[in-house]
């Protein structure tokens, strides 16, 4: 009885692999459950609703006071003139205005850019933040 089971299993496996291997040259037919498409669509929708992920930014400005908003805007604008391809974000958490720059997935990537910024923004430092993953 075990002999017949072994032969049956072997023939089933070989037949399955032969049927799977039949395809046109350079073309693959993908057969998948419709649930996969549904999950992909849900993932896309979720990412549209939540465009940020945990990451790192560099804080180049932090101040409070009567003129701090103007100084923050000037700092952000100056940064964007020098680094137009990097993001610069102005935020206000009473009573402080902050300017944070970059969208880094890892702290190491933020460290590398911080080295570039040290000559211009000597008080800059790295902070954890929500970053836009489309810029990564």
Q: Output the pLDDT for position 22.
A: 53
118 and 67 share one domain: yes
58 and 92 fall within a common domain: yes
Would you state the pLDDT for residue 103?
A: 95
Task: State the average pLDDT over residues 11-25.
Answer: 52
Residues 41 and 59 in one domain: no
Shared domain for 111 and 77, answered yes or no, is: yes
Rounded Cα–Cα distance for residues 50 and 99 (Å):
22
Which band of pLDDT confidence, cut at 50, 70 and 90, is reported for residue 30? confident
Domain of 131? 52-135
pLDDT band at residue 11, thresholds of 50, 70 and 90? very low
Quick check: 98 pLDDT over 70?
yes
Query: In this predicted model, what pLDDT tens digit does every residue of 34-85 receive, in sequence order?
Result: 888 888 888 888 877 878 899 999 999 999 999 999 999 999 999 999 999 9
Q: Tell me, yes or no, whether 103 and 44 share the same domain.
A: no
Are residues 97 and 30 located together in one domain of the fold?
A: no
Whole-angstrom CA distances from 119 to 13, 78, 100, 116, 128 are 66, 14, 17, 7, 22
60, 101: one domain: yes
pLDDT tier for residue 24 given thresholds of 50, 70 and 90: low
Overall domain count for the chain: 2
Residue 97 token pair: 């205005």
CATH code for position 59: 3.30.70.1070
Same domain, 122 and 77: yes
Residues 85 and 65 in one domain: yes
* Stretch 15-37: mean pLDDT: 68
Q: Which residue has the tokens 């040290």?
A: 118
Q: Looking at the structure, do residues 64 and 131 belong to the same domain, yes or no?
A: yes
Q: Looking at the structure, do residues 89 and 114 belong to the same domain, yes or no?
A: yes
pLDDT at 16: 46
Same-domain pairing of 17 and 68: no
């Amino acid at each position: 009885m075990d002999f017949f089971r072994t032969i049956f299993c072997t023939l089933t496996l070989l037949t399955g692999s032969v049927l799977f291997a039949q395809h046109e040259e350079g073309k693959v037919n993908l057969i998948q459950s419709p649930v996969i498409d549904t999950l992909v669509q849900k993932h896309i929708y979720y990412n549209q609703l939540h465009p940020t992920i945990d990451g790192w930014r560099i804080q180049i400005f932090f101040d409070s006071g009567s003129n701090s908003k103007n100084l923050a805007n000037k700092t952000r604008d100056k940064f964007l003139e020098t680094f137009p391809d990097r993001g610069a974000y102005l935020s206000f958490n009473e009573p402080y205005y902050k300017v944070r720059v970059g969208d880094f997935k890892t702290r190491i990537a933020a460290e590398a850019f911080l080295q570039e910024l040290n000559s211009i923004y000597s008080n800059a430092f790295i902070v954890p933040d929500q970053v836009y993953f489309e810029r990564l």
